[in-house]
Structure 1
Amino acid sequence: AIKFTSAGAVTLTVKKHATDDKIISFIVKDTGIGIPREKQPLIFEAFQQADGSTKRKYGGTGLGLSISRELAKLLKGEITLKSAVNEGSEFTLSVPVSGAAGIINSGSESRPSFAEIVQEEEVKRAENPNAQYISPSIPESVPDDRDNIAAGEKVILIVEDDINFAKSLLEFTRKRGYKGIVSVRGDYALNLAINYRPVGVLLDIQLPIKSGWEVMEELKNSPQTKHIPVHIMSSHKLKQESLLKGAVNFLDKPVAFEQIPEIFKRIEHIVNKESQKVLIIEDNSKHAKALAFFLESNNINSEIKSEVNEGVSALQQEDIDCVILDMGVPDNQAYEILEGVKKNPGLENLPVIVFTGKSLSMKE
Structure 2
Amino acid sequence: METNKFVNRYHAVNKNKMILTGLVLAVLSWILASVLDFFLLKNVSFSQVIFNPGPEQIWIRLIVVCLFLIFGSHAQFIIDQRKQAEDALRESENKYKSIIEAIDDGYYEIDLDGNFTFFNDSMCRIMGYSREQMAGMNFEAFKKFYRPGRASNVFEWTFTKKDGTRIIFESSVSLIKNQEGRTIGFRGLLRDVTQHKKEQELEQAKLAAEVANKAKSEFLANMSHEIRTPLNSIIGLIELILETQLTSEQREDLDVVISAAYALLSVINDILDFSKIEAGKLELEYSLFNLRDFLGDSLRIMAAKSHDKGIELAYRVLPDVPDQLTGDPSRLRQVILNLVGNAVKFTDKGEIIVTVRCKEKNDSRACLHFSVHDTGIGIPKEKQDNIFSAFEQADSSISRKFGGTGLGLTISAQLVNLMQGNIQLESEPGRGSVFNFTAWFTVISDGDYAYELLSDIDVSKIKTLVVDDNESNRHIIQEMLESWKMEAHTVPGMIEAREAFAAAEKEKKPFILNIIDSEMPVYDGFLLAEWIRDHSKSQYDNIIMMLTSSKNRNQENLNKLNIKNSVTKPVRPSDLLDAVIKTLNLSKLSGESAQEITEKLPVQDSPLKILVAEDTLFNQKFIFRLLNHRGHQPVIVENGLQVLDILKQESFDLILMDVQMPEMDGFEATIAIREKEKETGLHIPIIAMTAHSMKGDRENCLQAGMDDYVSKPVSSEILFNTIHRLVPKAVVPKIKPEHPVFARSIDKENLMKAFDNDWEFFSECLDMFAEEYPKMLEILREFIEDKDCEGVRRTAHAIKGMMGNFQAYSVANTALTIEEMGRRHDLSQAKQVFDNLVTGIETIENILKNLSERD
Shorter-chain-normalised TM-score: which range? Answer: 0.3 to 0.5
Q: What is the TM-score with the length of structure 2 in the denominator? A: 0.18
**Greater RCO (CA < 8 Å, at least 6 residues apart):** 1
Structure (1/2) with the larger strand percentage: 1
Bigger proportion of residues as helix: 2
TM-score, normalising length: structure 1 = 0.37
Bigger radius of gyration: 2
